[in-house]
Homo-oligomer: A and B are copies of this chain.
Amino acid sequence: MNNTIETLLKHKTIRRYRKDDISDGLLSNILRGGIRASTTGNMQVYSIIITKDQEKRNELCKLHFGQEMVAQAPVLLTFCADFNRFNKWCRQRDAVPGYDNFLSFFTAAIDALLVAQNVCVAAESEGLGICYLGTTTYQADKLIEFFDLPRGVVPVTTVVAGYPDEDPEQADRLPMEGVIHNEKYNDYSREEIDDIYRYKENLPLTRELTDENKVENLAQVFTEKRYIKKDNVHFSKVLLKVLEKQGFMNNEM
């Protein structure tokens, strides 16, 4: 097992950070590694916004549902699908961009997410901790306002980075055969579902979560408490409206 795969295998999400800053040199190396990620047609249709300013991080902490690590960690990276720069370049070169549609948004989102993961791997290889903020898509409209993002730009994920101030247990994962399919998609039988989720359901953490949330089982923690339909529907509407507003829903010629 080489160092890189060891780094990947050791990944833990970090939610408590020391105050220590990440040096400019280190951050720059991490980002240089990050932007080497594959990108559609070498268009690099993404942007990364670095937030270090404490006041801005305090405000962003509120926007990210009060997750304290946003204010605590020294660096926040907001990864955006970005066709604005590319479109401007096209227009300056008498080329007419046709990137105001859903496919183009999704292409740019892929670019942004591959870079984000590369940045996280680079950061962890240097002993930093990271945490992704799923709240980015929920609050895309408010983040667009906060960062004053022009048409063509949509935030798709955010990464908190800094030196860890905790050493949590590594999160469990489903057994490999639960997520990997050989040659064809193996649609799951009832028995297979039971097998795949057995280990997770028997963890002490699962008992804590079901007790704390006063539900019968772990699945209900997700459906009734953590990722509930009402919120998903609400934030789906927000996100689709954002795509419209940022100019990615002109899906007719």
Given the contacts A94-B216, A98-B229, A126 and B5 also touching, CB distance less than 8 Å: yes
Task: Give the distance in Å from the alpha carbon of A34 to the alpha carbon of B174 in the complex.
Answer: 13
Q: Establish whether residues B197 and A103, one from each chain, have CB atoms under 8 Å apart when the complex forms.
A: no
Task: Give the distance in Å from the alpha carbon of A10 to the alpha carbon of B33 in the complex.
Answer: 9
- Is A67 interfacial (CB-CB < 8 Å)? no
Q: Establish whether residues B103 and A235, one from each chain, have CB atoms under 8 Å apart when the complex forms.
A: yes
Q: Establish whether residues B42 and A125, one from each chain, have CB atoms under 8 Å apart when the complex forms.
A: no
- Residues of A whose CB lies within 8 Å of any CB of B are 1-5, 7-11, 13, 28-38, 40-44, 46-53, 56, 82, 84-86, 88-90, 92-99, 101-104, 106-107, 109-110, 113-114, 116-118, 120-122, 125-126, 130-132, 134, 137-138, 147-150, 153, 156-157, 171-174, 176, 178-185, 187-188, 190, 193-194, 196-197, 216-220, 222-224, 226-230, 232-233, 235-237, 239-240, 250-253
Q: Establish whether residues B118 and A121, one from each chain, have CB atoms under 8 Å apart when the complex forms.
A: yes
Contact of A232 among B28, B103, B230 (CB under 8 A): B103
Please give me the residue from chain B that is nearest to A156 by CB atom: B110
* Residues in B neighbouring A250, C-beta threshold 8 A: 233
Task: Give the distance in Å from the alpha carbon of A90 to the alpha carbon of B44 in the complex.
Answer: 38
Q: Establish whether residues B121 and A121, one from each chain, have CB atoms under 8 Å apart when the complex forms.
A: yes
Q: Establish whether residues B157 and A121, one from each chain, have CB atoms under 8 Å apart when the complex forms.
A: no
Q: Establish whether residues A180 and B44, one from each chain, have CB atoms under 8 Å apart when the complex forms.
A: no
5 closest residue pairs by CB, A with B = A98-B229, A4-B125, A8-B33, A95-B219, A93-B219
Task: Give the distance in Å from the alpha carbon of A238 to the alpha carbon of B184 in the complex.
Answer: 23
Q: Establish whether residues A47 and B179, one from each chain, have CB atoms under 8 Å apart when the complex forms.
A: yes
* Residues in B neighbouring A107, C-beta threshold 8 A: 134, 137
Q: Establish whether residues A89 and B43, one from each chain, have CB atoms under 8 Å apart when the complex forms.
A: no
Q: Establish whether residues B185 and A147, one from each chain, have CB atoms under 8 Å apart when the complex forms.
A: yes
Could you show 24 A-B contacts with beta carbons less than 8 Å apart? A1-B29, A2-B3, A4-B4, A4-B125, A8-B34, A35-B173, A38-B120, A41-B227, A42-B172, A42-B173, A47-B185, A48-B180, A49-B181, A49-B183, A50-B183, A53-B183, A93-B216, A95-B219, A96-B229, A98-B230, A107-B137, A114-B117, A148-B184, A236-B251
